[in-house]
Structure 1
Amino acid sequence: MKHVESYYAATANDHAPWPTLQESIQCDVCIIGAGFTGLSAALYLTEAGYDVVVLEAARVGFGASGRNGGQVVNSYSRDVDVIEQRYGKESARMLGSMMFEGADIIRDRIDRYAIACDYRPGNIFAALNPRQMNHLRRQQRLWEKYGNQELELLDERGIRREIATDRYVGGLLDRRGGHLHPLNLALGEAEAIRRHGGRIYERSAATALTYGAPNRVKTAHGEVSATFVIFAGNAYLPSQLEPRLARNSMACGSQILTSEPLSRDQALALLPNNHAVEDCNYLLDYFRLTADNRLLYGGGVVYGARDPGDIEALIRPKLLRTFPQLRDLAFSYRWSGNFLLTLSRLPQFGRLEHNVYFMQGDSGHGVTCTHLAGKLICEALRGDAERFDAFAKLPHLPFPGGRRFKVPLTAMGAAWYALRDRLGV
């Protein structure tokens, strides 16, 4: 199975192939999924001396990790003030202390392993109305309280210096965020795992598991015996492999267009300081420039992870609302990818057995949170589970409506919030 036809796949760095599992092997830790969650966990664990095997059904970075908007966005899909309201001050303190760590981990990985993934600093949260601008003022105060002093509030003139559009009334620039080529980051991390002796097997989907001591993970042509198993498949993990993980989550799709290359002057006329942007709507738009001066633009959510028939027809009107001057812009790439949503919009970490772990459901903030997850699982396996358990203790409820009705009911709820966004209330 190849990577989806995307800008990222077309510009991926050269790398040596990984084999398909064809035998029975043993290891300390077997990780199911070679996206950012699995790769981050594998790299931390191999650095710590564990014998690690990663099983990937398709290719390294095949899912959301190799298809996303490439934005390095701090915090979680629900900010720490919401966490405090719902779960108390201690949960807020613990999760707040980690809310900027994922991006720091990414920058450390890029520097330590010389990963060529076009990293650029800075991302902007753009407000479309005064209500959203007031939210960004509160967010700035909150993030500064938790240690991020690299924030700049942008008024209407400031946001227009950053983005060539009249659509926004202001914004918040986070210089501790950024943007990059996500598939090349994943490939670079996989090479680092190989360097530390970790084993990655592509086209080696886990087909059955027997829990015990050891756990046994079967593939079509092989088997892994492992002391620990980590589920890291997120939206691409088959529900029948471990039904318990599908009960409180839902796969959702997002779509991206990437333009033909612009001249450097044309590109910097749109985004003069080359920051990534996402707006503050419930169903948000996000965009940035690539290293070769293309405009990459994504947005919307398809609940239930259906691929729309015409991605350009879905995304192009969103792009033109932001940049009406680009009505003649041509596009080279169009693709969809799935992410895993939770009802709380917070990630789900936990244990299925005493030696079987899972990490999933980053709800749109996966680039940073997955890298944090890898560090926390390594800490837990080494005997310090305090930070992992701060996430594992969060309660998670199923989506209303059960398997049959959770998609339409969630879409109805999202439509209500989208209406509020349009009305600015």
Structure 2
Amino acid sequence: MTAFAPVPSYYAASANPTPSRPHLSESIETQVCVIGAGYTGLSTALFLAEAGFKVVILEAATVGWGASGRNGGQMVNSYSRDLDVVARQTSADAARLLGQMAFEGGRIIRQRVKHYGIQCDLQDGAVFAALNPRQMKELEHQKKLWESHGYDQLELLDKQALQQQVNTERYIGGSMDHGSGHIHPLNLALGEAAAFESLGGVIYEHSAVVDIQQGQPAVVKTAQGVVKAEWVVVAGNAYLGKLLPQLASKSMPCGTQVLATEPLGEELARSLIPRNACIEDCNYLLDYYRLSADHRLIYGGGVVYGARDPVDIERLIRPKMLKTFPQLQNVKVDYTWTGNFLLTLSRLPQMGRIGSNVFYSQGCSGHGVTFTHVAGQSLALAIQGQTQQLDAFASLPHYPFPGGRLFQVPFSALGAWYYDLRDKLGI
């Protein structure tokens, strides 16, 4: 078995109790084998279990060990590129369907939390904060764009109204998405795993997949076991490695860094973010932050292309936090961690099938909390023979990074430098 080190995150330290799960050490048969116990795999498996399917999940580490248990906890609608960009990439019918699904992820999460009683500190409200007039115009455009798809939960905020949401001088205005919010991400994953198991689903942890043999049935192998399945769902995302080389060339793992302060106390915490929304700015390399249930500030930002772990995360993120909230100069940082997400060249998600019975979804490009739940619904429907949603996502074109694997990191870093410079200059 492969050993995976514990993640030294605030989320891991404050996780709800979860059972110890076995590793796969035998040959079994099932209807659906899902690879990966992050949001994509859990969401797909839970939809299928609710529909009466026999489903097994194989997880290389533990439930929520990857990005699903390490992210900023922000439930943000749409995709990493907005709906006007999506519309230029596909047919009108597909764009219309993708537009409808752009706002489904948060609804699915709320339904799961309510139905299964998942304790994950769900809070409503997300703020997009503009640092310059160009970004404010983009938020005005976004409001009209989302309204054209039937979504009416955005509210534009001038500087004064924004400061009622986040007490900083950094921003000139912004918008509030009343249909978004934030959660304790690892506890959401653990709750979805428990819901899946309550319906008879089985999760094997520490069971990394080493080979997939296509066929009827497909054969999925781990170091010590075998699963024969009618369908396979590949949901490894940034931690898939080289299991499916045809997917690896069109995506790149990237790291993002997060810190959690010591508990600030309710008075200081609410003086920073009075109405407990989560916030992200509008930069290409954006900052994102929110309060935890025990009144810590969780602050993240930056991208490390190629997913290397920085030596000193606090040194990278603390200056960003203090630029937003200089009043936290003397506050102690209790936790720092990094997590990988999967970037595509288009920054749009990749979903489709390989052969007749191997399905995949990957490349959330930073919008994973909500998109993965949409993906789970789409993949589950496709296995049941309803392929409209899957086909709409599969219609989006995807390209390999220029220069191949050798140059994808420097080319991406150069592109990010260009957009970061634009943001700093406000052009």
Q: Same fold (TM over 0.5)?
A: yes
Q: Tell me which residue corresponds to 1:340.
A: 342
**2:58 aligns with one of 55, 59, 83:** 55
Give, in angstroms, the shift of residue 3 of structure 1. Answer: 3.5
Over the matched positions of the two proteins, sequence identity in percent amounts to: 59
Give, in angstroms, the shift of residue 273 of structure 1. Answer: 0.1
CA contact under 8 A between 1:83 and 1:91: conserved in structure 2? no
**2:12 aligns with one of 9, 14, 24:** 9
**3-12 or 142-151, which deviates more:** 142-151
**1:329 aligns with one of 328, 331, 334:** 331
Q: Tell me which residue corresponds to 1:189.
A: 192
Q: Tell me which residue corresponds to 1:40.
A: 43
CA contact under 8 A between 1:3 and 1:59: conserved in structure 2? no
Counterpart code for 2:256: S
- Distance in 2 (CA, whole Å) between partners of 1:186 and 1:2 is 18
Q: Tell me which residue corresponds to 1:81.
A: 84
Counterpart code for 2:374: L
CA contact under 8 A between 2:89 and 2:397: conserved in structure 1? no
Give, in angstroms, the shift of residue 85 of structure 1. Answer: 2.6
- Distance in 2 (CA, whole Å) between partners of 1:343 and 1:139 is 22
Give, in angstroms, the shift of residue 83 of structure 1. Answer: 1.3
Number of aligned residue pairs: give it.
424
Q: Structure 1 unaligned segments of length 5 or more: list them.
A: none
Secondary structure of the residue aligned to 2:343 is strand
- Distance in 2 (CA, whole Å) between partners of 1:242 and 1:400 is 19
Equivalent residue runs for 1:252-331 within 5 Å? 252-331=254-333
Q: Tell me the TM-score normalized by structure 1.
A: 0.99
Q: Tell me which residue corresponds to 1:350.
A: 352
- Distance in 2 (CA, whole Å) between partners of 1:275 and 1:288 is 7
CA contact under 8 A between 1:344 and 1:396: conserved in structure 2? yes
Once the two structures are superposed, residues 165-208 of structure 1 have per-residue CA deviations (whole angstroms, 9 ceiling, x without a partner) of: 00000011001100000000000000011011111000001111
Counterpart code for 1:77: S
After TM superposition, which residue ranges in structure 1, 4 or more long, deviate above 4 angstroms?
none
**221-230 or 143-152, which deviates more:** 143-152
Secondary structure of the residue aligned to 2:315 is helix
Secondary structure of the residue aligned to 1:86 is coil
**2:27 aligns with one of 24, 29, 44:** 24
Once the two structures are superposed, residues 343-364 of structure 1 have per-residue CA deviations (whole angstroms, 9 ceiling, x without a partner) of: 1111000111110111000000
- Distance in 1 (CA, whole Å) between partners of 2:6 and 2:232 is 25
Secondary structure of the residue aligned to 1:212 is coil
Secondary structure of the residue aligned to 1:149 is coil
Secondary structure of the residue aligned to 1:141 is helix
Once the two structures are superposed, residues 370-399 of structure 1 have per-residue CA deviations (whole angstroms, 9 ceiling, x without a partner) of: 001111111111111011110011110011
Secondary structure of the residue aligned to 1:175 is strand
Q: Tell me which residue corresponds to 1:424.
A: 426
Counterpart code for 1:222: G
Secondary structure of the residue aligned to 1:171 is strand
Equivalent residue runs for 1:209-288 within 5 Å? 209-239=212-242, 241-288=243-290
**147-156 or 268-277, which deviates more:** 147-156
- Distance in 1 (CA, whole Å) between partners of 2:294 and 2:253 is 31
Secondary structure of the residue aligned to 1:229 is strand
Secondary structure of the residue aligned to 2:89 is helix
Counterpart code for 2:260: T
Give, in angstroms, the shift of residue 247 of structure 1. Answer: 1.1
- Distance in 2 (CA, whole Å) between partners of 1:20 and 1:405 is 37
Give, in angstroms, the shift of residue 86 of structure 1. Answer: 3.2
Counterpart code for 1:116: Q
Once the two structures are superposed, residues 229-269 of structure 1 have per-residue CA deviations (whole angstroms, 9 ceiling, x without a partner) of: 11000000121x11111010000000001000011000000
Q: Tell me which residue corresponds to 2:98.
A: 95
Q: Tell me the TM-score normalized by structure 2.
A: 0.98
Counterpart code for 1:207: V
